[in-house]
Amino acid sequence: MSSPTQTLAPLATLAGKYLTVAVGGESYGIEIRQVREIIRYQKITPLPHLPAGVKGVINLRGRVIPITDLRVIFGVDAGVADRTCIAVVEVSQPGAAPLLRGLIVDRVEEVVTIAAGDLQAPPDFGTSVRVEYLLGVAQVRGEVKFLLDLGLVVGGSTAG
């Protein structure tokens, strides 16, 4: 978990390119190297006894991919709309092969380059964002982008 007392040196390592996605009224960044593809929202097969936010699985070209709904994780009440999609990401795990996971988002925004000077630690007060899932916060053209720690976001998603 990121700490509000995190020093600038570790934050500087977060500089780079991010795919930004919208969830509710907020904008989140996913490191571009972790993004494998963006697909249209599709039927999800539910499974019993899944952690909160894990909706089930999809079959993506013969591969079973667990799907996490970021809207549920972040407490956003939203249905499926025209721009709702699934970002397929690769999540590293220590001592094991990377995992593919799908993240339901309201829409994809853009790819942005975030400089080290635009980064700061996540706030620890009065925000609607679940700061335990954040690596940092960036200012991009006057807008706040929350950088996701995918290992923590999908940590409870172990199917597949």
- Tell whether 129 is covered by a domain: yes
For residues 17 and 13, what is the distance between their CA atoms, to the nearest angstrom?
12
Task: Please tell me the pTM assigned to this model.
Answer: 0.85
Residue 3: inside a domain, yes or no?
no
Is 74 within a domain?
yes
Q: What is the mean pLDDT of residues 87-111?
A: 93
Residue 54 belongs to a domain: yes
* 99 contact partners, CB below 8 Å, separation of at least 6: 90, 91, 93, 154, 157, 160
Q: Is residue 102 part of a domain?
A: yes
Q: Which residues form the domain of 145?
A: 8-153
Q: What is the mean pLDDT of the chain?
A: 87
Please count the structural domains in the chain. 1
Question: Is residue 160 in some structural domain?
Answer: no
Residue 124 lies in a domain: yes
Q: What is the pLDDT of residues 55-88, one digit of tens each?
A: 999 999 999 999 999 999 888 887 889 999 999 9
User: Is residue 2 assigned to a domain?
Assistant: no
**CATH for 130:** 2.40.50.180
CA dist 126 and 79 (Å) reads 26
